[in-house]
Every structure is written in structure tokens, then in C-alpha cells.
Amino acid sequence: VQLQASGGGLVQAGDSLRLSCAASGRTFSTYTIGWFRQAPGKEREFVASITPSAGSVVSTRYADSVRGRFTISRDNAKSTVYLQMNSLKPEDTAVYYCAATTLKYPTFVGQYAYWGQGTLVTVSS
């Protein structure tokens, strides 16, 4: 599966932004999709993930730092996963990456086999 992240930009603290991760490949709906981010000088860290749909049910996971502010969702018909980011803070500034895996609840970089290019999110104070 090939992934392409988009939607980044420059916003002010408190603003919202929605990132998209568009995938190619007929098996998109079978993958868990995750969002990671990497700030300058820091390691890439887990942000959120969403499992494949079981009927209309999906499971989501969030990093503590974004829980309650970010929402991950998927539209299998469009082969796209979204990351809605609200109440953005300057510390959310990073390059955001989407990734795919066949595992169900992975939160480590090494557990994801497929990666898209990053999209830069800059939050000014």
C-alpha cells in the first residue's frame, strides 16, 4: 500500500487543522493506519491509530498528549484516513507521517511497514 499525507500548514495556537492520508491499493481497508510526528531534534512519536473496520466498528488509540484534542477516522470508500486536530498547541509543531500495518494496536515506529511522506504542521504561539 502506498500512502500520501497532506493538509499541513501554519496555524495559530488554538486553531484546528485536518490532515489526510490517502492510500492506494485495494487492501487499504484491511490495514491499521497510524499517525506519527517528528519534531526537530526529536524522535518520531506515535500520535494515533485506527484499526480496520469490523462492520461499522473501529478501534482507535491516542497518545496521552493528544487525547481529547485529536480525532482519527477513516473512510474506506475513499481509501483515506483523517486526523482532525483541534486546540493546537505550539508543542504540536512537527512533521506528521501516516503509516500502515497489519497489526492491530501498534504504537511503535518499527511495527509499521509502510510509510507516507510527511506533512509539516507549524503552530505559532
3-state secondary structure of 20: strand
Percent of the chain with pLDDT over 70: 100
Residue 104 pLDDT: 86
List the one residue out of 9, 19, 20, 24 whose CA is nearest residue 114.
24
- pLDDT at residue 54 in the model: 74
pLDDT for 58 equals 87
From start to end of 25-118, where are the E strands? 32-38, 45-50, 60-62, 70-75, 80-85, 94-101, 114-115
Q: Is a pLDDT exceeding 80 seen at residue 38?
A: yes
Q: Note the pLDDT tens digit of each residue in 108-122.
A: 999 999 999 999 999
Q: What is the mean pLDDT of residues 29-54?
A: 94
Q: How confident is the model at residue 29 (pLDDT cuts 50, 70, 90)?
A: confident
